[in-house]
């Protein structure tokens, strides 16, 4: 048990966890959303209760908003910086001591670009952004097609399957592994590591969950250090090789960038595909419309992202005293931005609880955030999901749930852990998807 891990857990999770338990006993809405089973199974009734009349609300010791315009404004406002909400102010000497103890690269600690403000954020993001240009995404389309078709061919004809483990998770992990130059044999290992590390993005996680995440972060970093050493000797055509050979990032920064790409390139897409499967099976009229008009698939992906986003919430920290929405926030104030709530703001999306693949402004959702921290791989996730979902439902027109889908026990990265189905008979033929 490393002391720096204990202090970090107490600082970022332990005190909040104790507070959430007390608030849950009192029936507090925010605690129920971020600490109770309702927040995992169906957060939207709680979100609507918390929304109230809209705007910015005080939920001590935090602020929270479900307002689309306000979330978008704060995400784009340089008076707010990134960070995880904390309620415990450790003595400065303790923080300095912790800063001197090395922490394995992970998504929630600098130099992860997810947790950097300008100008460091731009320095870290710019070298990676080249992998996600429209031209780069177009080059990946053939690989997405091949991987998806191979996975569909491996599914049973009119048999049982788990469409998370056997399909939704396998598409993005194959693509991001190839982008980072990882061998195919290591995919399942990455899935296990990702499952352990992703709870770090929640608030108030247990000590055992935190320790498991940090141990897995150590394993990932050890793997990456060896992989980067190999790439320095024999670089490939992948993104990580390019970053290594350019020499713009330190070794620790390379590990941080690769770790974030592994997480962001996988977590969002697996949850997007899984949610898309469930939503379309629950709305057969919308699925029938897609079968009749396949040009609607890109819009359907946007509506899935709006209706039930894979990333439910994010946070910002006031970098100075801020007047916003008629409120005065002191420097250091934490603001929780409910992306899921913003995506159902009736001022932005009429009849927001209706799932409609033809919604004309669905793309205004905040499912990929906004501002300088907007998801770097958004275009790739959209492309992967649109092809995977369309190909799945065309290959298996009789696909149906065979049991209740099981949610992951996470609040921020919201999705399914398993999705049991009966595939139905395989289509005898399928038109190539352009």
Across the range 239-254, mean pLDDT stands at 93
pLDDT higher than 80, residue 337: yes
Tell me the C-alpha distance between 110 and 265, whole Å.
18
Residues 305-336 pLDDT 10s: 999 999 999 999 999 999 999 999 999 999 99
Q: pTM score, two decimals?
A: 0.94
Supply 92's token pair.
Answer: 């400065």
pLDDT higher than 80, residue 96: no
Across the range 248-257, mean pLDDT stands at 93
pLDDT score for 205 = 93
pLDDT higher than 80, residue 101: no
Token pair 């982008």 is at which residue?
179
Across the range 27-39, mean pLDDT stands at 89
Token pair 């600490």 is at which residue?
35
pLDDT score for 113 = 92
CATH number for the region 3-422 comes to 1.10.630.10
- Per this entry, what is the length of the chain? 434
Across the range 277-298, mean pLDDT stands at 98
Tell me the C-alpha distance between 252 and 249, whole Å.
8
pLDDT score for 428 = 78
Tell me the C-alpha distance between 32 and 35, whole Å.
5
Question: Comparing C-alpha atoms, which of 401, 433, 406, 428 is closest to residue 418?
Answer: 406
Across the range 59-68, mean pLDDT stands at 92
pLDDT score for 91 = 59
pLDDT band at 7 (very low <50, low <70, confident <90, very high): confident
Tell me the C-alpha distance between 5 and 142, whole Å.
43
Domain boundaries, the chain: 3-422
Cβ 141 vs Cβ 383: under 8 Å: yes
| 296 C-beta neighbours (distance < 10 Å), count | 17
Residues 382-398 pLDDT 10s: 999 999 999 999 999 99
pLDDT higher than 90, residue 297: yes
Regarding predicted confidence, which is higher, 79 or 8?
Answer: 79
Cβ 103 vs Cβ 4: under 8 Å: yes
């Amino acid at each position: 048990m490393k002391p720096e891990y204990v202090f970090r857990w107490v600082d970022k999770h332990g005190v909040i966890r104790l507070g959430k338990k007390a608030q849950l006993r009192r029936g507090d809405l925010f605690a129920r959303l971020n600490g109770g089973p309702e927040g995992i199974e169906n957060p939207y009734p709680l979100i609507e209760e918390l929304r109230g009349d809209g705007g910015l609300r005080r939920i001590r010791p935090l602020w929270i908003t479900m307002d689309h315009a306000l979330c978008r404004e704060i995400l784009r406002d340089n008076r707010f910086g990134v960070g995880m909400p904390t309620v415990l102010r450790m003595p400065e000497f303790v923080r300095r001591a912790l800063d001197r103890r090395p922490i394995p690269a992970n998504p929630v600690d600098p130099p992860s670009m997810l947790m950097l403000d300008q100008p460091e954020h731009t320095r870290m993001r710019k070298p990676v952004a080249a992998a996600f240009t429209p031209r780069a995404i177009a080059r990946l389309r053939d690989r997405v097609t091949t991987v998806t078709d191979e996975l569909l061919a491996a599914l049973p004809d009119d048999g049982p399957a788990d469409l998370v483990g056997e399909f939704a998770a396998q598409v993005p992990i194959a693509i991001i592994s190839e982008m980072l130059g990882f061998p195919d044999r290591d995919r399942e290992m990455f899935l296990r590591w990702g499952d352990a590390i992703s709870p770090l993005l929640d608030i108030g996680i247990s000590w055992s969950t935190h320790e498991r995440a940090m141990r897995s972060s150590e394993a990932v970093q050890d793997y990456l250090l060896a992989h980067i050493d190999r790439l320095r000797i024999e670089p490939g055509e992948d993104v990580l090789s390019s970053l290594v050979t350019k020499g713009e990032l330190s070794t620790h920064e390379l590990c941080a960038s690769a770790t974030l790409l592994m997480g962001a390139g996988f977590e969002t897409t697996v949850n997007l595909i899984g949610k898309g499967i469930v939503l379309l099976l629950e709305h057969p009229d919308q699925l029938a419309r897609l079968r009749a008009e396949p040009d609607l698939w890109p819009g359907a992906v946007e509506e899935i992202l709006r209706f039930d986003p894979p990333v439910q919430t994010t946070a910002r920290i006031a970098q100075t005293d801020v007047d916003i929405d008629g409120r005065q926030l002191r420097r250091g104030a934490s603001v929780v931005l409910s992306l899921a709530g913003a995506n159902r703001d009736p001022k932005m999306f009429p009849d927001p609880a209706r799932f409609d693949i033809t919604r004309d402004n669905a793309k205004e959702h905040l499912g990929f955030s906004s501002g300088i921290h907007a998801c770097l791989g958004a275009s790739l996730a959209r492309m992967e999901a649109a092809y995977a979902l369309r190909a799945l439902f065309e290959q298996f027109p009789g696909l149906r749930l065979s049991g209740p889908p099981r949610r992951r026990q996470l609040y921020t990265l919201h999705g399914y852990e398993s999705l049991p189905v009966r595939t139905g008979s395989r289509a005898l033929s399928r038109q190539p998807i352009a």
